[in-house]
Structures are given as C-alpha cells and as structure tokens.
Amino acid sequence: MIEVWHAFIKAIELIVSLDPEVMEIAGRSLGISATSVILASLICLPLGGLIHFYRFPGKRVLINVIQTLFSIPSVCIGLLVFVLFSRAGPIGGLNLLFTPTTMVIGHMMLITPILLGLTISALSGVDKAIKDTALSLGASDFQAVIIISKEARFAIVAAIIMGFGRAVSELGIALMVGGNIRGFTRVLTSAIALESQKGELEMAIALGIILLSLSFIVNVVLNRIQQR
Amino acid sequence: MVIVEVRNLSKRFGEKESLKNINIKVESGEVLALIGPTGAGKTTLLRLIDLLDMPTSGRIYFDDTDVTQLGKVGLETRRRMAFVSQKPVVFNTTVYNNIAYGLKWRGVGKSSIRQKVDNILEMVNLSDHKNRNAGTLSGGEAQRVAIARAIAVEPEVLLLDEPTANLDPISTSRIEELITNIIHRYGTTIVMTTHDMAQGQRLADRIVVLINGEVHQVGERSEVFAFPRDREVAEFVGMKNIFLVEFKGSKAWLQNLEVELGREMKDAQGYLAIRPEDIVISRERLSSSMRNNFRGVISKIIREGFYYEVQVKVGWVIFKVLITGNALSELDLREGASIYLAFKSTAIHTFQ
C-alpha cells in the first residue's frame, strides 16, 4: 500500500514538474484524438443531418446498424485498419502503418457511429413544432434545417464530447496500428499499459491522472462553448 | 377584395376525413374567426391555408392565384403570411433573435431588422426581456413573442390558431388586447380559430362555424349567435335547452308539454332551442304576454361565475335557466322549490 502511495506522490511530481516525456505523450494523445474528432465531426454532422431529414428505404435499418456499432470493440477496428494498411493489405503501399495518420483513421472509424447516431437522435429530439414555426415564418427548407440544428446544438455537442472520450480512452487501435513507438505513436493509453507492465507505477499513475484531467478539461471547454 | 379563398377543400388523414368540401372566402382587411369544438378541423384548415400541409383535394387561392403547391410558390406565398400556433413555440435563443428570424430569412438588412424588432418589442411590452432566452418566459409572454415574431414580417394575412387556448384569463385578455391593437394599427387580414364563442364575438367581423370538418354556418358575428342555422350550431353558441319535438301546426309537443310557437311549422319531427337567459322564473304564475307558462320544481342550482344556472324539472323535461345572484336571493330559490317558468314564442328557435 505504501508503495502505491509513493507512486502516487511521484506521479504528482512528474506532472507538476512538467516532465518532458509525460507532456509529450499527453500532447500527442490530445492531438490525435482532437484531429480525429474534428475530421469525423465534419463528415458525421452533415451526414447525420442528411439521414435525419431525408426519407429513404432502409432508413430505420441503417439507424439500427449505426446504433449497434456504438459498442464495437476498438480491437476490431484496430484489426481492420491493420489488415488494410499492412504490407500485404489493399493499401499497404501507402506505408502508413504505425503512424499517427493511421491512428487518426482508426479513431475516426471508431467514433463515426457514435457521432452519426447521436447527431440523428439530437435532431429527432427537436420538437416538430420548431420546423413548422420556421416554415410558417418564411424559412426555406435549408433555413429550417439550420434552425433545427441550432435547436439541437446541446445534444450535438454532447455527441462530440462522447466521441472525444471514446477516442482518447481507447487502447486497441493505439496498440495495433500505432505500435506504441516512443516519441512517435506512443499515447496515454498505450503508455499506461506499457509502464504498468514494466512495473513503473508512478509513471502509469501520472499518465492516468493526466488522461482523466484531459477529458475533464475538454468537457469544460466544450460546455463553455455551447452555453454561449 | 378577396385575399384568400379555399375551394372544395378536403383533407383526409388515413381513414379520417378531417375536412369535407370546405369553401371559404376571406376578405382583405377583415377578421375571420373559425369557431367550432375541439377536433372540428380548425387547425387543419389553418395549416392548409398556410401551405404547411397539402389538401387531399381542392384548391387554395391567394390574391386570385392558385397557390396549392409546395416548393417555390409555396415558400413565396407563405412569406406573405404568418402563423401563430396554439402552443407557444419559441426558438432556444434570445427574445430579440426570435423576433428577428422571419426578417433575416427574408434577407432584410441588419439595421432595418434592429429598428423593426425594437419597435415591435415596445408594442408587445417585452423590451425589458429583449436579451433574455425566450425559453425562460412564461406561457403568456412566450405567446406574445410568437405574435410579435409573426407581425414583424408584416404579413398580409395573419393566421392565429387558438392564440389563447392555453393561457390564464389575464394573459388571455392581454393577448386579445394585442390582437385588437394589431387590427387597428396594421389593418392586417386575420384568420383565427377559437373554440370560445365569446372570443370570436369580441374579435371577429365574421364567423365561420366548423363542426366535424364541415362548415355549418357563415355570417356576421352577431348573426351566428342570434340565429344559429342548425341544432349543432345552436348547441355550440350556448343554447343549452335543445329538445327533440314533434311539430304540429303552430305548436310543438315536447313530450307531454304543449309549446306555443307563434308561427306555423311543417308537421314533422325537429328540434326546438331556447337560450337559458331567455327563460323567466317567478314564484307566481305570470299573467304577461308570454305564451308559454309552465310549473316546475328546481332540481339543481349551479354557480357559473357571476350567474347561476337553475335547472327546472317540468314533467320529464329539464329546462336550464340563467339568472343573476340577485334574482336568486330575491326569489329565494332553492333546490326542491316549486316555481313557474315562462318564455316568449319569439325566443324559440326551431330546426327541422
């Protein structure tokens, strides 16, 4: 028990002293997760809108599939990306395996169902009367879509927060397609796994605390933005 | 000049035919009230006029042009109207932005929007709440925002769907005052729905009575109230005494009571209606010109605001009579008391 307590104290020291390696790993985690969330949002928010606003055959089935994929294990995505990008894979020639780029791609695939599904449910959560009111006040169809999306903004930001949380906390993709290469693809989760296996508890705990703090800060910032 | 006209309009939702062959003309500058009980199809009709829904059959004309379509014509026509729904709907943003939206969507410039919105905020008495989130307003305030938002776009036709249905009496009278102001100030053509006959009388020039998806009567506001054309309208305008009778010559047999009509009727079954305020109650038999005098027993007294509804049983028939509190205490009326009631033959409405 004392050993754990010591590790905890040392972890705090590592954070307070802005240990270069710890900071570098945290920065990379934030960068990769943020990039994937931003890119995925750019695709998923409009796409979710299209799925919500247009009627087409198989819509309900599609939404069910999307919701099922909420809980897809990250190792499955990791495996898929690994197979796609490995030397013998269909796009192995790009030589992208074990780079931050493939990690971003993996993360995007992981959180796309969450962003799509939650965007659709955010938009369906808007009272139908809002659309009628907008149209009756002379909004074109496009202007009505914009105002409905604005009404759904809280729920949409919640979707983005969920997506970020999933991306920053997953391990499967980071290990399988990132490779946990020191100074290149090592992120918080893969570093925690490695350090605790090595018995470097203080380092693992420090990284764990940072991971939690990072999620907390992103949450606070996004909440601030949506309250404006 | 007719500004809106609907011809042979029908709307069906699955099996249910909500509107059946409706024909209405709305004159420019008038206030037309569609009145009728809940579920009569009033909202459906208003939504069709605003081109929010398409009719199953029939056409809608705006300024003599057939506008029965969505898309570009629908949008352009809709931009000449504004619609306020029964449930106050506000966008989750400031009061100011709520009112500005319609103008923004029409491409009005920023400074012009600011001026117009500020003027209207003053008119609806919400200037203090300009920067408040509209979602935090009370029902009455939210409805005023909704009305302000509608008149901000200076519509040629304002459609109001039961604008006071969900509000308390004070908010209701404020909204009615606001509507009266709009009529005086802008001369906007208004088509409104209400299930409140009294509100229709207070605000409207003409009244259309809609019952079960059909137009039962169209007329000046006093006309519909004074001369309902059929039993359903009579019931709706508050004639509480409506009886199935057998007409014979100038008399009607109401079970075993002989009612003097003062005019000849075809010998057949039909309905007879008397307004509760047209019946007089007395302790002694009145020797007046009133041809119909009956002796009965008070079965129930119900308070209705400033008035009392006294139910009098004559034989098997129950008459409902409206009297003031003063009359009640002067005549010392109580349940079980034996009294006389009388009514003129001119107070009797007949429907065959």
HSE value, Cβ hemisphere, 13 Å, CA-based, for A111? 33
User: In degrees, to the nearest 5, what angle opens at C-alpha B307 toward C-alphas B304 and B311?
Assistant: 75
CA A19 to chain centre: 26
Can you point out the beta strands (E) in A126-224? none
Which residues have CB under 8 Å from B55's CB, separation 6+? B9, B10, B11, B19, B48, B68
Which residue in chain B is spatially nearest to A144 when comparing CA positions?
B105
B186 and B294 both lie in a single domain: no
Q: How far is it, in rounded angstroms, from Cα B144 to Cα B148?
A: 6
Q: How far is it, in rounded angstroms, from Cα A61 to Cα B224?
A: 54
Residues B77 and B51 sit within 8 Å (Cβ to Cβ):
yes
The CATH code of the domain that includes A61 is 1.10.3720.10
Contact B91 A151 (CB under 8 A): yes
Give the torsion through C-alpha atoms of B184, B186, B189, B192, to 10 deg.
-60
Nearest neighbour of A136 by CB, restricted to B82, B93, B106: B82
**Global pTM value:** 0.81
Residue B50 backbone phi and psi in degrees, to 5: -80, 0
Q: How far is it, in rounded angstroms, from Cα A16 to Cα A22?
A: 11
Give the number of other CB atoms < 10 A from CB of residue B82: 26
The CATH code of the domain that includes B346 is 2.40.50.100
| Tens digit of each residue's pLDDT (9 = 90 or more) over A113-149 | 999 999 999 999 999 999 999 999 999 999 999 999 9
B42 and B125 both lie in a single domain: yes
Q: Which of B49, B79, B92 to mutate to test the interface with A (most CBs of A within 10 A)?
A: B92
Which is nearest to B158 in space by CA: B183, B175, B138?
Answer: B183
Which residue in chain A is spatially nearest to B85 when comparing CA positions?
A133
**Segments forming the whole domain that contains residue B132:** 2-231
pLDDT at A11: 82
Contact B89 A127 (CB under 8 A): yes
Which residue has tokens 């009567």? B217
Residue A31 backbone phi and psi in degrees, to 5: -60, -50
Contact B78 A138 (CB under 8 A): yes
Q: Is A38 a residue whose pLDDT tops 90?
A: yes
| Tens digit of each residue's pLDDT (9 = 90 or more) over B17-38 | 999 999 999 999 999 999 998 8
| Tens digit of each residue's pLDDT (9 = 90 or more) over A179-213 | 999 999 999 999 999 999 998 888 888 889 989 98
Domain end residue (candidates: B231, B260, B282): B231
Is residue A140 in some structural domain?
A: yes
pLDDT at A228: 61
Task: Give the closest-approach CA distance of A137 to chain B in angstroms.
Answer: 5
Domains of chain A: total: 1
pLDDT band at B12 (very low <50, low <70, confident <90, very high): very high
Query: Environment class of residue A151 by beta-carbon count within 10 Å: exposed (0-12), middle (13-18) or buried (19+)?
Result: buried
Which is nearest to B300 in space by CA: B289, B310, B288?
Answer: B310
Domain end residue (candidates: B231, B264, B285): B231
The CATH code of the domain that includes B192 is 3.40.50.300
Q: Is A221 a residue whose pLDDT tops 90?
A: no
B145 and B171 both lie in a single domain: yes
Which residue in chain A is spatially nearest to B148 when comparing CA positions?
A137
Tell whether ipTM is more than 0.85. no
pLDDT at A7: 79
Is residue A9 in some structural domain?
A: no
Residue B97 backbone phi and psi in degrees, to 5: -60, -40
B211 and B246 both lie in a single domain: no
